Amino acid sequence: MMNELIFFFNNVVVASIALGSIYAVAGVGVTLIFGILRFAHFAHGDMMTMGAFLAFVLAGLFATLGWSVPGLPTGFIVMPIAMVLTAIIAFGLDKAFYAPLRKRKASSVTLLIASIGVTLIVQGLIRLIFGSGAASFFETETKQLIRIPVPLEGVTRTINFTQPQLLMVLMTIVAVTVLHLFLTRSRLGKAMRAMADNADLAQVSGINTKLVVRVTWIIAGALAAMAGTMLALDVQLKPDLAFNIVLPIFAAAIVGGLGQPYGAIAAGYLIGFAESAAIFNWSVLLRPLQGILPFEVPVSITFVPTEYKLTVAFVILVVVLLWRPTGIFKGASS
């Protein structure tokens, strides 16, 4: 039984924590932008991809210069620089595309359409510059696999995960803690929460709303680059890396309640778990119990076939939108 439980842990728990961290970190950005600026920022996925590509270029640069830290992937070392660059670009995108529309008092729908335009521009540029093929951070380095033996009798399997997955979880914890301290302790963070609650009231109370908007883009851009780079370290780097998961990220933000960073984090992990659990073959866990079960355990019991993994997030998204559009943690409404 222990072997099967470890198999479950490796295939569901590790996978869902890794995926959930990406959803959580990216979902926080989406939810913050919605809370402050009141529109669904569709280009968030492509900001993630852009961050990952910047990290890829920087990693290549570091490799040519011969700079590296033994034991850590170079892609991870350069991540902070990529985060800074993406934050600057996010700020620039706002200045170029969204700020003029906000000035015109355009509706949230217009901003949503503009963000689709930005999606296309960013994705087109990435494809134009990097081509449409896939790349890997681990062409010259090796991805370390961590195996932890379980000191129990009769256990042959080990708990397995990769080093990028471990770093991903650690970085998510750091990012969430820093964000929490920022939102609850700093003056600016409190101003941000006030503006998310009621923008007009915040403005008349003397909060510098322009500064809050700027900081929002910087935080969202940095978090997007972090999520994108970590995702590219875990899987492969492609021009549609994050465009494909932008809906699960929106699902995380909506399920958590738009405008609620903590909700987005919880919902991110929830959706990551639902996706991994839905395609897991539960027969593996039931087979050792065959002796006490009244029926024959089939070869495979999955909630959905493997091809429908992402569909799980879409179904959750649609169901939550219909059943409780404000999210399970009561979100903002515009």
Task: Report the interface residues with another protein, using CB under 8 A.
Answer: 39-40, 97, 100-101, 106-110, 112-114, 116-125, 127-128, 131-132, 247, 250-251, 254, 305, 307-308, 310-311, 314-315, 317-318, 321-322, 325, 333-334
CB of 273 to another protein, least distance (A): 18
Minimum CB distance to another protein smaller for 42 or for 161 = 42
CB of 203 to another protein, least distance (A): 22
Structure tokens at 293: 């079960």
Contact 312, 275 (CB under 8 A): yes
Question: To which H or E segment does residue 162 belong?
Answer: strand 158-162
Site of tokens 């902070």: 80
CB of 13 to another protein, least distance (A): 23
> How many residues are recorded in the chain?
334
Contact 285, 3 (CB under 8 A): no
Minimum CB distance to another protein smaller for 40 or for 54 = 40
Minimum CB distance to another protein smaller for 34 or for 161 = 34
CB of 292 to another protein, least distance (A): 22
d(CA 248, CA 54): 23
Minimum CB distance to another protein smaller for 184 or for 306 = 306
- Give SS3 for 222: helix
CB of 129 to another protein, least distance (A): 8
Site of tokens 């959905």: 304
Distances (CA, A) of 76 to 71, 204, 329: 11, 43, 33
Minimum CB distance to another protein smaller for 169 or for 328 = 328
